[in-house]
Amino acid sequence: MKLWGGRFTAEEDQLTAMFNDSLSFDKRLYRQDITGSIAHAEMLGKQKIISSEDAAAIVDGLKGILSDIDAGKLEIKDAEDIHSFVEAELTARIGEAGKRLHTGRSRNDQVALDMKLYTRDHIDQMIAVVTELHDTIEAIMKDNLETYMPGFTHLQKAQPTTLAHHFGAYREMLRRDLSRLVDTRTRLNECPLGAGAFAGTTYPLDRDMTAKALGFDEATVNSMDSVSDRDYLIEYLSDLSMLQMHLSRLSEEIILWNSNEYQFVKISDAYSTGSSIMPQKKNPDIAELIRGKCGRVYGALMSLLTSMKGIPLAYNKDMQEDKELSFDAMDTVEHSVILMNGMLKTMTFNKERMADSAKRGFTNATDVADYLVRKGVPFRTAHGLVGELVLLCEKKGCALDDLSLDEFRSVCDKIDEDIYKAISLETCVKTRKTKGAPGWLIENADEIF
Ligand code: ARG
């Protein structure tokens, strides 16, 4: 029978049950549900709302259920949701005392608590895996402070930079992602347990005790909001969307760099798959999937925002819709981060190819103009003169560095022998010393890492 079967007479319709029941997906909340119930039972005992013997029997019973589920000895099934399952199992194990657990509590504050605990645990897990990815990126940066490569704008070669500088941009994105995760965790850390259905309860609950026992900073201050707030989930899904977007951008670069045309990197076999028809193919599927899965993560965010927008206070069953999509987004982003980390750790960088590419495509054209500025030519004039030099190179099919001094002078007689050093790849990178630039990174690496 359902927890609430007392006032019902007709058999439940099959489709109604299927549509309503949440056990198939909320069973993953079992640890949080039992942990919350243990804190609740201990508080009920301390406040003498139930006897200390009953409280002890409940806590023991709950611990047994938890360890049996963990050990694979107890299968979670045959209940409407995880809350009903745990209560029924407890009562089957310890008898009457089990029926006292739900005193002063509703499934509304119970599920609000479970989801907050689950989200908080998941944020901690994400902070750990994102930190690992951040550290892998830092290691790549340290190894590649002077690995030259072209930087792009509009996907066209623009100016030379280093691989460390390029990865440094992703390090910054991840640093912001990490600080968003910490912020969300801080804001969610108020305990809804004790809000009851929405109006609190007449029992003398000690809400501060349960809040503390469960690692919250404090108990929530409005019991209606406590059971109907899902802001923290929306905020977390937004953090996850942003993080997945960053992973997707990095995936896109890896896919390009791994292509036959670029050949800047080689993805390890462990993160590639083959083609069923073309024997030569090794495809960057994992990077493509990380990019593609952005859709479902953003979808979860939009879906929950939309589900929440018309819900009057307080609890309504619409809120059960928070779970499947949030769990899916959490799994997706966590796995994406772990896979990205593994892919980066095993990826090889073709440094010669990158440097070679930086030398072609006139990435030092700005530096020729800057050289002329140092010789007294106004920048706008210099820009035009270098344009002529580029045209000359295109006609000859060579790089700026390959022009003879006479050819340089045919366009501007202020150019001397020192032009070659001034526009070498090394000079172009190392003299970009403004804060945040690749030359600055080389000089300040010791302080940054
Ligand atoms: N499965 C429900 C959910 O996820 C639990 C709360 C049920 N509360 C209720 N009043 N029916 O939201």
**29-71 residue pLDDT tens:** 999 999 999 999 999 999 999 999 999 999 999 999 999 999 9
Kindly name the residue from 154, 259, 303, 404 that is annotated as catalytic.
154
Is there a catalytic annotation at residue 410?
Answer: no
Report the separation in Å between the CA atom of 316 and the middle of ligand 1, taken as the mean of its atom positions: 8
Ligand 1 lined by 119 (C-beta under 6 Å)? no
Under a CB-based contact definition with an 8 Å cutoff, are residues 445 and 140 in contact?
Answer: no
Q: Residue 385 in contact with residue 375, Cβ under 8 Å?
A: no
Mutate to test the pocket of ligand 1, among 7, 24, 81, 317 (most ligand atoms within 8 A of CB): 317
Q: Are 116 and 108 in contact (CB under 8 A)?
A: no
Q: What is the pLDDT of residue 56?
A: 98
Tokens linked to 412 = 């501007």
Q: How far is the CA of 317 from the centre of ligand 1 (A)?
A: 6
- Check residue 8 and give its pLDDT: 78
- Is the CB–ligand 1 distance for residue 315 below 6 Å? yes
b (16+ CB within 10 A) / e for 223-259: bbbbbbbbebbbbbbbbbbbbbbbbbebbebbbbbbe
Candidate from 107, 307, 318, 324 with most ligand 1 atoms within 8 A of CB, to mutate = 107
pLDDT score at 275? 75
* Start-to-end CA span in the chain (Å): 60
Q: Which of 51, 52, 259, 275 is catalytic?
A: 275
Neighbouring CB atoms inside 10 A of 13's CB total: 10
* Residue ID of nearest Cα to ligand 1 atom 2: 320
For residue 439, the tally of other CB atoms under 10 A from its CB is 19
The ligand 1 atom nearest the CA atom of 83: 5
* Minimal-distance CA residue to ligand 1 atom 7: 107
The conformation of residue 231, written as its DSSP 8-state character, comes to H
Here the tokens at position 184 are 């969300």
In ligand 1, the atom with minimum distance to the C-alpha of 4 is 11
DSSP 361: T
What CA–CA distance (Å, rounded) separates 85 from 79? 5
Instruction: Please report the pLDDT score of residue 413 as a whole number.
Output: 94
CA of 152 to the centre of ligand 1 (A): 51
Q: Which residues pair with 283 in a beta bridge?
A: 273
Instruction: Kindly state the tokens that stand for 97.
Output: 């005392």
Q: Give the ligand 1 atom nearest the CA of 317.
A: 12
Task: Name residue 446's amino acid.
Answer: D
Task: Tell me the pLDDT tens digit for each residue of 377-413.
Answer: 999 999 999 999 999 999 999 999 999 999 999 999 9
Spatial CA neighbour of 150 closest among 141, 159, 140: 159
49 CA → ligand 1 middle, Å: 24
Q: What is the DSSP letter of 424?
A: S
Q: With bands split at pLDDT 50, 70 and 90, how would you rate the model's confidence at 159? A: very high
Specify the DSSP class assigned to residue 97. Answer: G
Q: Which residues of 182-206 are buried (b: 16+ CB within 10 A; e: fewer)?
A: eebbeebbbbbbbbbbbebbeeebb
CA of 182 to the centre of ligand 1 (A): 28
Q: Residue 44: is it exposed, middle or buried by C-beta count within 10 angstroms (0-12/13-18/19+)?
A: buried
The minimum-distance atom of ligand 1 relative to the CA of 115 is: 4
DSSP letter string, 120-163: HHHHHHHHHHHHHHHHHHHHHHHHTTT-EEEEEETTEEEEEEEH
Structure-model confidence comparison of residues 9 and 195, the more confident one: 195
CA pair distance 153, 365, nearest whole angstrom: 14
Catalytic (active site) residue 275? yes
pLDDT on residue 5: 77
87 close to ligand 1 (CB < 6 Angstrom): no
Q: What does the pLDDT look like over 83-140, one tens digit per residue? A: 999 999 999 999 999 999 999 999 999 999 999 999 999 999 999 999 999 999 999 9
**Rounded distance, CA 183 to CA 178, Å?**
9
| Cα 82 to chain centroid, rounded | 27
Ligand 1 atom closest to the Cα of residue 80 is 1
In tens, the pLDDT along 258-317 reads 999 999 999 999 998 877 777 777 899 999 999 999 999 999 999 999 999 999 999 999
Average model confidence (pLDDT) for the chain?
96
Q: Is ligand 1 within 6 A of the CB of residue 320?
A: yes
Site to substitute for ligand 1 among 25, 320, 321, most atoms within 8 A of C-beta: 320
Which residue among 21, 27, 108 has the greatest number of ligand 1 atoms within 8 angstroms of its CB, and so is best to mutate? 108
Predicted local distance difference test score (pLDDT) of residue 10: 74
pTM for the whole structure: 0.94
Longest dimension (CA), the chain: 101
Report the nearest atom of ligand 1 relative to the CA of 82.
1
Which residue has the CA at smallest separation from atom 11 of ligand 1? Answer: 317
Q: Is 111 in the pocket of ligand 1 (CB under 6 A)?
A: yes
* pLDDT value at 1 more than 90: no
Q: Burial-class residue 291 by CB neighbours within 10 Å (0-12, 13-18, 19+).
A: buried
Question: Quick check: bond before 314 cis, omega within 30?
Answer: yes
Q: Which residue has the least CA distance to atom 3 on ligand 1? A: 320
Res 263: pLDDT? 96
Residue 114: CB within 6 Å of ligand 1?
no
Q: Is the CB of 105 under 6 A from ligand 1?
A: no
Provide the angle, in degrees to the nearest 10, between the axes of the packed helices 285-292 and 294-308.
20
Neighbours of 127 (CB within 10 A): 15
- What's the length of the chain? 449
